[in-house]
Structure 1
């Protein structure tokens, strides 16, 4: 590389101070320019918008394209984290062939600090989709060594670590592309990683860079780090531990905290809570302005095969502890902060980070289960550890348990978490995991899995019954079910896209997903019983292809469901709601596949029919009683003593009188005699309402929502015709449908409970 080329390249970089000035521009979603008025028309045609007009100039703005906005966001992250040199713009082209210096590679984001250089390729999509990076990654394969050598010439006499990063937005990455990325020494930074480090920066400032470096240079040496500390070695809980004091800045370099969110789906243990800014600020203020300190120890687990401990010559013979010099690993991401993250990071932005020391208790190579268990013990009674976060810990803590019931708890937790955290999953981002807030809960998915036939039945010490998939092997069961659910749900989601993406989705609800999980279990069991599939022998794609025709009736049902039935399902809560979704899905499948007869469906439907009938005819009786009382009261108020003669149509009155006489003739007990008013039918009440509609009944008997329908009083009283039809059915032979019950319940809420009102009643 010639001196001229080197100077030219360095001129395209900005230092830390210049980068801070550029940040406002980079983080804005618009480009801004100030132009002369005579350029206004041309700029407006090119998509610019007037921001502000001045006397002699105009400030205009234009939205950044999606790809530019994403590159600027990534650039901003590294500027905020304190990288000392970054590319000024997209025109940073790095040579990769010393024999042909004109061959260059355009670099989206270049970032350098005192120890590292990053080259970042940014790829983005406006919607969530599958990415294909084969061509891009293979192009880097042939030029990576050349890029490294150019950087060595650009920054001679510096021992710098180098990392290539593929940063993506709304793009999933295949296993094949991940392997290609690994082969060129690169790593993937996705939406969640980027969001995570932005949030971490907002909490701990430039100390977030240590976390980032620990992430990308996991286990690699930290140059020029002083790693020796005086320590006491002891035994506790069957583990060797070291107690020592250390400057916070040193621990920040080797320390690492993982927070339970989608950014860390493949990193464990993920049990920490995200640092709370308000709490961190109070810690900083306590340290900086009040000479505060924390006497309780930070607890860490040192990741090393063994820690060198130079035992001192002088020891206390009466104790089992000994003193000496502990050699901490000089490596990134070598000390997990099990407890005390706020105390540690509280020092990071104070003047005491390298002049104070903090007490530390360090274990060595604790398993992740032991780390989680220790964290839980320390925080057992602290409200800050949420129920949701504790639930996610089971996926780690119980995986290697000797108890079968606890293993199943871990298995179902891990399946639920993976479905919510894998970008390939249609439920990505839709499950409430740790600190992520979403519609679906882990507990609901676990409940469905445990009640399904996938898992079988286990007790504390025994597998009582093998499942369709579970055979005692957690890893096999997890991998199979994860892939099966992703593929099956992908087919479902792609065919009901409108419902799937809706905030009021039937399927993407706790009851909906509960029902779908059980339905998939039912269908697999049915196909296995028919010898159509052999779950453990067949390829998953083969299994999924066999179930698609059973998913189709559910797809058709969701696409064609009417409003009343939709509302009926959405209002179904609790265990009854879960069961209702499941049984409805079973019923819809059986309408297409007559030989699909899952256990308990017929009994459920018969029970539902009986319950619907009981509720329906009870409501009808209440409405009839209401009519009898309310119609008479209104007629008496309007017509006085002649209310029957003037208010009731002659034909209706004559029939009522005849019906009363006929009924009374057959009675032996005078006390059982009826009046003619007792003999009116619902249709008779409708005729009375029609005769006196505007003067008496319109305001009280127009059904809510039908105030403006065309057709006048005939149309506005048709609900009485439907009510009469249901009233005349034989309670022993007719089964009330769900939508009919919903209709009656709506009338009950309006006429009897007075919970609904029309526009006249409000």
Structure 2
């Protein structure tokens, strides 16, 4: 019976020599086939929706896009092939796991085996982001598990491989109960971010990336046949016991693990390492292989061991008298992921594909059982004078490094960072994969989220040792504040996302950007404060209840974005720095106040007055430059080219000519010095230039003063020069008590840019 089961399984497995050819097909986004030209089979494919790729002399190549599920399965299969698993299935199959009942089967999408492990992988994919309940499926696996393990061990009796079930998903969020069940059955969930992480790691390390994978899957499990005895020196440093030794890279690669700051390691916070760089790895590999190079500086690791039998130091009988340091044999843990690489990942992995990985040794300094936060501090200290740690990575590390600090200031920094991580990494968040976590650049930075939360009343105010003022959600309990603020923001922004539809994910939108998060969140804070002032909510109101009271205000924000004019959107997008953030926020306040006049937005009136004054000054400067530095010069130049010395008489309308001449003569009667006398041309106003332009329109000025995009508008020269009438109106009213609006200023800036930057 076992032979029958063995045949059933092996029938679906590829010969190792065929893996690379299959990999080339799996990596494609399409199916590809070729048929004889003119054949009925070719026509059948075309009728079935296949498209022609290439037409050759005797054959035609056709292709068809893979279905969503197949595309994801193939991607997962290709990953494990690239990681160096030497036994893989040909296609999905149902695996019989009970020698007494062939009807008892388990579906397998990817079967991956190497010398020591077997991975049983199921793939689930969705086109759009959804949440799914895998409770029933996981319960079935719980009952099948023993039979599956026994059957695989019977099929591969020589190796008795370690076995792991992996649920791979794309665009699917699991319920928390599902994650709990996976842990209970010793299985693991790989969302597409984890798949992408191992793809990136594989691109850098090749098959050596499998060490990192095995460390993740089988952490704490024994590595067979590992020679773990190392000559070493035991010493003391900074209150810690450490060991200094030299070891073959292959051994350290097997027990080592790098805490890359990535979704793949989110359950192991804090993590802190940058992803290994392929270019640097190649340089190190060449240095070792071709140049005979070596690295005398030590790799720094942290050995994790719960029991003294796993890690112990066997002191030699020969010691140096009165020396603090001791010599002897260090017995390393024979387990996956028992040594965390704090510094030197590139040096270590530079040996991963080297012929010297078992014949060279590398120096190591090993600390023991460091707290993860202490590892982060050590990493930061080591890298302080090397490549700078980015602000977003530093902010991300703060979430873990400062959480247990005795300083309230540090705790709040940690809280802000952890909220940013939650918003960016929780699949149920509308900002999922849109916030820069670590060093993966996205549209919103953790730094901006921290700045925004500083401006809100959500967190209150603290000093190092005291809470000066409790916040809307913070009263001293970090965990409660973290859960409540995250919950409230996710609810509000999810409501906005659903209400805005395609606008939310539209490329180049003004919503999912730093200024957008700042402005909307501060407006939410304003509305919450309004609700508190009117005793609609209090400190005991849940985030869900507060959100429900916010619906009308959120609808107002949705309406604002759906109806915003392009010029206003461009104005908000191009307003940079802190003033730009403030402008965005205040603009939202104005929009909501138009719908809810009863809301008092502190400082809004003063801001608008100040902005209007600044608008006036900026607008008048632009108009003055348009009038005196452009229109006056260009119009005169064109008239001179056409009418020579009689340009003023022939090119200017009679009424303007007479009025300008009279005005100049009147002023000159009061001037004694001839060189100070005024010219008639100096007496013209902005609207006068329009009359001159209209008089000489087709021949001299149509090509110059028609705005781009208005070449074919009806109304002729009157319509095409209407922009001058609008400029004149704004300028004349600007002399009195009128305030230039932001829309008018945007219009003036558009004209200015056109004339000075495009027309010249």
Query: What is the TM-score with the length of structure 2 in the denominator?
Result: 0.92
Return the offset for 1:129. Answer: 3.1
Does residue 542 of the first structure (1) align with residue 545 of the second (2)? yes
Identify if the C-alpha distance between structure 1 residues 612 and 246 changes in structure 2 by more than 3 Å, giving closer, same or farther. same
Return the offset for 1:246. Answer: 1.9
Identify if the C-alpha distance between structure 1 residues 737 and 14 changes in structure 2 by more than 3 Å, giving closer, same or farther. same
CA distance, structure 1, for counterparts of residue 754 and residue 547 of structure 2: 47
Return the offset for 1:75. Answer: 1.3
- On the 8 A contact 1:16/1:83 being kept in 2, the answer is no
Residue 184 of structure 1 is matched in structure 2 by 185
Return the offset for 1:17. Answer: 3.2
Q: What secondary structure sits across from 2:33 in the alignment?
A: strand
Identify if the C-alpha distance between structure 1 residues 638 and 258 changes in structure 2 by more than 3 Å, giving closer, same or farther. same
- On the 8 A contact 2:462/2:469 being kept in 1, the answer is yes
Residue 562 of structure 2 is matched in structure 1 by 559
Residue 420 of structure 1 is matched in structure 2 by 424
CA distance, structure 2, for counterparts of residue 14 and residue 677 of structure 1: 90
Identify if the C-alpha distance between structure 1 residues 119 and 730 changes in structure 2 by more than 3 Å, giving closer, same or farther. closer
- On the 8 A contact 2:168/2:189 being kept in 1, the answer is yes
Residue 531 of structure 1 is matched in structure 2 by 535
Residues 200-237 of structure 1 show CA distances to partners (whole Å, capped at 9, x for unaligned) of: 12222222212111111222222333322222211100
Residue 75 of structure 1 is matched in structure 2 by 77
Q: What secondary structure sits across from 1:589 in the alignment?
A: helix
CA distance, structure 1, for counterparts of residue 507 and residue 264 of structure 2: 24
CA distance, structure 1, for counterparts of residue 753 and residue 53 of structure 2: 54
CA distance, structure 2, for counterparts of residue 611 and residue 563 of structure 1: 22
Identify if the C-alpha distance between structure 1 residues 373 and 38 changes in structure 2 by more than 3 Å, giving closer, same or farther. same
Q: What secondary structure sits across from 1:266 in the alignment?
A: helix
Residue 697 of structure 2 is matched in structure 1 by 693
Residue 587 of structure 1 is matched in structure 2 by 590
- On the 8 A contact 1:94/1:150 being kept in 2, the answer is no
Residues 95-150 of structure 1 show CA distances to partners (whole Å, capped at 9, x for unaligned) of: 24444313322211112223222211101123333334344334434433333333
CA distance, structure 2, for counterparts of residue 194 and residue 299 of structure 1: 28
Residue 107 of structure 1 is matched in structure 2 by 108
Unaligned 5+ segments in structure 2 are none
Identify if the C-alpha distance between structure 1 residues 631 and 299 changes in structure 2 by more than 3 Å, giving closer, same or farther. closer
- Of residues 386, 396, 402, the one that matches 1:398 is 402
Identify if the C-alpha distance between structure 1 residues 660 and 79 changes in structure 2 by more than 3 Å, giving closer, same or farther. closer
Residues 653-697 of structure 1 show CA distances to partners (whole Å, capped at 9, x for unaligned) of: 566678889x889x9999999887666554444333222212333
Does residue 26 of the first structure (1) align with residue 39 of the second (2)? no
Residue 342 of structure 1 is matched in structure 2 by 346
- On the 8 A contact 2:95/2:108 being kept in 1, the answer is yes
Residue 498 of structure 1 is matched in structure 2 by 502
**Range 482-491 or range 461-470, more displaced:** 461-470
CA distance, structure 2, for counterparts of residue 654 and residue 10 of structure 1: 103
1:361-380 matches, cutoff 5 A: 361-380=365-384
- On the 8 A contact 1:164/1:187 being kept in 2, the answer is yes
CA distance, structure 2, for counterparts of residue 245 and residue 656 of structure 1: 94
- On the 8 A contact 1:95/1:146 being kept in 2, the answer is no
Residue 49 of structure 2 is matched in structure 1 by 47
**Range 133-142 or range 407-416, more displaced:** 133-142
CA distance, structure 2, for counterparts of residue 35 and residue 603 of structure 1: 75
Does residue 222 of the first structure (1) align with residue 223 of the second (2)? yes
Residue 351 of structure 1 is matched in structure 2 by 355
Identify if the C-alpha distance between structure 1 residues 720 and 134 changes in structure 2 by more than 3 Å, giving closer, same or farther. same
What CA RMSD, in Å, does the superposition of the two structures yield over aligned residues?
A: 2.8
1:560-639 matches, cutoff 5 A: 560-625=563-628, 627=631, 631=635, 634-635=638-639, 638-639=642-643
Identify if the C-alpha distance between structure 1 residues 628 and 22 changes in structure 2 by more than 3 Å, giving closer, same or farther. closer
1:13-162 matches, cutoff 5 A: 13-36=13-36, 37-53=39-55, 57-90=59-92, 92-156=93-157, 158-162=159-163
Does residue 266 of the first structure (1) align with residue 267 of the second (2)? yes
Return the offset for 1:33. Answer: 3.4
Return the offset for 1:269. Answer: 3.4
Q: What secondary structure sits across from 2:757 in the alignment?
A: coil
Residue 485 of structure 2 is matched in structure 1 by 481
CA distance, structure 1, for counterparts of residue 460 and residue 264 of structure 2: 33
Residues 301-345 of structure 1 show CA distances to partners (whole Å, capped at 9, x for unaligned) of: 111135322333332221122223322222211110001111211
Unaligned 5+ segments in structure 1 are none
Residue 290 of structure 1 is matched in structure 2 by 291
Aligned residues, how many? Answer: 752
Q: What secondary structure sits across from 1:31 in the alignment?
A: strand
Does residue 251 of the first structure (1) align with residue 252 of the second (2)? yes
Does residue 430 of the first structure (1) align with residue 431 of the second (2)? no
**Range 57-66 or range 75-84, more displaced:** 57-66
Q: What secondary structure sits across from 1:426 in the alignment?
A: coil
Residues 25-52 of structure 1 show CA distances to partners (whole Å, capped at 9, x for unaligned) of: 2222233334443321112212333445
Residue 520 of structure 2 is matched in structure 1 by 516
CA distance, structure 2, for counterparts of residue 629 and residue 160 of structure 1: 86
CA distance, structure 2, for counterparts of residue 686 and residue 32 of structure 1: 65
